[in-house]
């Protein structure tokens, strides 16, 4: 997903999510994007295998954390809506959908 697509998705859903949480997710995604860009630019015949794997791991962890933050925000939204007596689907997602998202990252 491109940065523009992520930004569009974020803008579209901002009304349903905590703006501070979404800001943190966007910061994490931008950081991962920068790490990946730097890694790609540094790749060459003299690249150190250990350094490449370390950087790939850092990018992967940053993306996982962004995903977990999104899921945590969805769960918080669910509990807030449930407490208010609104038991329908949350942000178009059921509890099963949220569980599947979590397991996708786990």
1: pLDDT confidence band, cut at 50, 70 and 90? low
Which pLDDT tens digit goes with each residue over 71-97?
888 777 766 555 555 554 445 677 787
Q: What is the DSSP string of 40-100?
A: HHH-STT--HHHHHHHHHHHHHHHHHHHHHHHHHHHHHHHHHHHTT--S-BTTB-HHHHHH
Domain ranges of the chain: 3-105
Query: Can you name the CATH fold of 3-105?
Result: Methane Monooxygenase Hydroxylase; Chain G, domain 1 (1.20.58)
pTM above 0.75, yes or no: no
Which pLDDT tens digit goes with each residue over 30-39?
999 999 998 9
């Amino acid at each position: 997903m491109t940065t523009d697509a992520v930004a569009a998705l974020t803008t579209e859903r901002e009304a349903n999510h905590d703006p501070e949480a979404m800001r943190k997710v966007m910061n994490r995604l931008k950081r991962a994007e920068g790490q990946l860009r730097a890694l790609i630019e540094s790749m060459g015949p003299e690249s150190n295998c250990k350094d490449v794997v370390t950087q790939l791991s850092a990018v992967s962890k940053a993306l996982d954390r962004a995903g977990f933050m999104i899921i945590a925000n969805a769960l918080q939204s669910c509990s807030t809506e449930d407490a208010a007596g609104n038991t329908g689907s949350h942000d178009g997602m059921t509890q099963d959908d949220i569980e599947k998202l979590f397991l996708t990252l786990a």
